[in-house]
Amino acid sequence: MDDISVIKSKLSVPSNILIITHRNPDGDAIGSSLGLKLFLDEFGHNCKVLMPSEFPVVFNYLPALSSITIFDNNQEEARQMLTHADIIFCLDFNGLDRIDPLGLEISESHAYKAMIDHHLDPEPFADWYLSDVHASSTSELVYRFIEALGHAPHMVNTDIGSCLFTGILTDTGSFKYGTNPEVYRIASELKKIGVDDYDINDKIFNSWTLRQMKILGHALRNRMEILPELNTGIIKLSKGDYLKYRISRGDTEGLVNYIMMIKGMRVAAFVREMPHGEIRLSFRSKGEISVQELASQHFNGGGHKNASGGSSKLSLDETIQKLKDVIPQYVRLTDISAG
Ligand code: 5GP
Ligand code: MN
């Protein structure tokens, strides 16, 4: 974390603050952004949240949703917000290509820029950094930021806490991965201030529609391929699948994790051909195998060592073939280095 007194003095006068998070925002992107917004509101700032694209409806229980502007739906308002911002917080992303056209606008903006993020290899576009790859989530880091400013837990109300808990819960898969001692301590603090963890778990994880359940069934039954010699599993969904089953983005959230539930799996890939033709990939791995390297070296992406994503300009089948060609070097290299 850079010197907290620098940002503390920036925040000492009420300002126009814009919080920006990444495209296809997940629970951590939304939770950290709204949590920070609600905290900054307590100091009289005029604080707004900007997301490049829509967020999944499952997060509709969160407070302060009306403070969010979606760039895709309201570009003019988004540009106004950028123009008037004194301070821009960049949350849960560290590369300007993660926010589409907004990236260029941010790089050209004269606002003071602060990044709070937990992905590998942050780009040097911000003025102030809280970047920690060992953090479970950006929401954990927002809590630590509030603490460093000297305002936790007393200025963290249950609304702020529910936002941050949502981010922690989703980015750790309910405390299954990416955890550390700090995140359990912070979860405990949030529970103490009255965050209803059972209710949040229920709202996020027990909210499937029957259609979503059937899409999962189809993907596992008909679209999953296991490569036993590489301890790898791949799920592919074609444009035809998207149209036939009316699949939208939120319907495939977490699908890649099912592969990892098979005993012995060390790498999981979910490759999809979106209805507009773009090929997107999601990766998960265990232990020393770095799917962050796989994504950044071959699929124009990045993320974390054990959870990453990217894209491809090849066809769906060519992408799968390329994946099969390059995966062995990651699995085998790791076998050697693991001794
Ligand atoms: P998911 O599979 O859940 O979409 O993404 C897993 C992780 O990879 C997330 O932490 C996300 O930030 C990262 N990620 C996904 N897609 C991309 C991408 O295109 N570029 C980069 N740099 N990271 C990505
Ligand atoms: Mn995150």
As assigned by CATH, the class of the 4-205 domain is alpha beta
Q: Which residues are registered as beta bridge partners of 16?
A: 46
Q: Which residue has the higher pLDDT, 36 or 337?
A: 36
Q: Which residue has the CA at smallest separation from atom 16 of ligand 1?
A: 309
Q: Of ligand 1's atoms, which has the minimum distance to the CA of residue 292?
A: 8
Q: How far apart are CA 203 and CA 61, in angstroms?
A: 8
Give the model's confidence band at 249: pLDDT under 50 very low, under 70 low, under 90 confident, else very high. Answer: confident
The residues of the chain that CATH labels 3.10.310.30 are: 210-338
Tokens at residue 88, please? 């821009």
Ligand nearest to the CA of 292: 1
The residues of the chain that CATH labels 3.90.1640.10 are: 4-205
Q: Which residue has the CA at smallest separation from atom 22 of ligand 1?
A: 302
> How are beta strands 267-273 and 232-237 bridged, if at all?
parallel
What's the pLDDT at 336? 58
Q: Using alpha carbons only, give the angle 224, 230, 233 rounded to the nearest 5 degrees.
A: 15
Tokens at residue 261, please? 């539930």
With a 6 A CB cut-off, is 103 part of the ligand 1 pocket?
no
- 187 C-alpha to ligand 2 centroid (Å): 16
Q: Does the pLDDT of residue 338 top 60, yes or no?
A: no
> Which of the residue ranges 64-73, 248-257, 312-321 would you say has the lowest mean pLDDT?
248-257
What's the pLDDT at 305? 94
With a 6 A CB cut-off, is 272 part of the ligand 1 pocket?
no
Q: Can you tell me which residue has the tokens 């993907």? A: 219
With a 6 A CB cut-off, is 303 part of the ligand 1 pocket?
yes
Q: Of ligand 1's atoms, which has the minimum distance to the CA of residue 283?
A: 2
- 240 C-alpha to ligand 2 centroid (Å): 31
- 310 C-alpha to ligand 1 centroid (Å): 6
What's the pLDDT at 43? 97
Q: Which residue has the CA at smallest separation from atom 11 of ligand 1?
A: 303
Question: Are 262 and 278 in contact, with CB atoms under 8 Å apart?
Answer: no
Give the model's confidence band at 172: pLDDT under 50 very low, under 70 low, under 90 confident, else very high. Answer: very high
What's the pLDDT at 339? 41
Mean pLDDT, to the nearest integer, of 106-118?
96
What's the pLDDT at 108? 92
Q: Does the pLDDT of residue 153 top 90, yes or no?
A: yes
Give the 3-state secondary structure of the chain.
Answer: CCCHHHHHHHCCCCCEEEEEECCCCCHHHHHHHHHHHHHHHCCCCEEEEEECCCCCHHHHHCCCHHHEEECCCCHHHHHHHHHHCCEEEEECCCCHHHHCCHHHHHHHCCCEEEEEECCCCCCCCCCEEEECCCCCCHHHHHHHHHHHCCCCCCCCCHHHHHHHHHHHHHHCCCCCCCCCHHHHHHHHHHHHCCCCHHHHHHHHHCCCCHHHHHHHHHHHHHCEEEEHHHCEEEEEECHHHHHHCCCCHHHHCCHHHHHHCCCCCCEEEEEEECCCCCEEEEEEECCCCCHHHHHHHHCCCEECCCEEEEEECCCHHHHHHHHHHHHHHHHHHHHHHCC
- 225 C-alpha to ligand 1 centroid (Å): 22
What is the CB neighbour count within 10 angstroms for residue 257? Answer: 16
Q: Of ligand 1's atoms, which has the minimum distance to the CA of residue 308?
A: 8
> What CATH architecture is 210-338?
Roll (3.10)
Give the model's confidence band at 250: pLDDT under 50 very low, under 70 low, under 90 confident, else very high. Answer: confident
Tokens at residue 109, please? 């903006």
- 189 C-alpha to ligand 1 centroid (Å): 29
Give the rounded percent of residues in the chain with a pLDDT score beyond 70: 98
> How are beta strands 232-237 and 224-227 bridged, if at all?
antiparallel
Buried b (16+ CB within 10 A) or exposed e, 101-125: ebbebbeebebbbbbbbbbbebeee
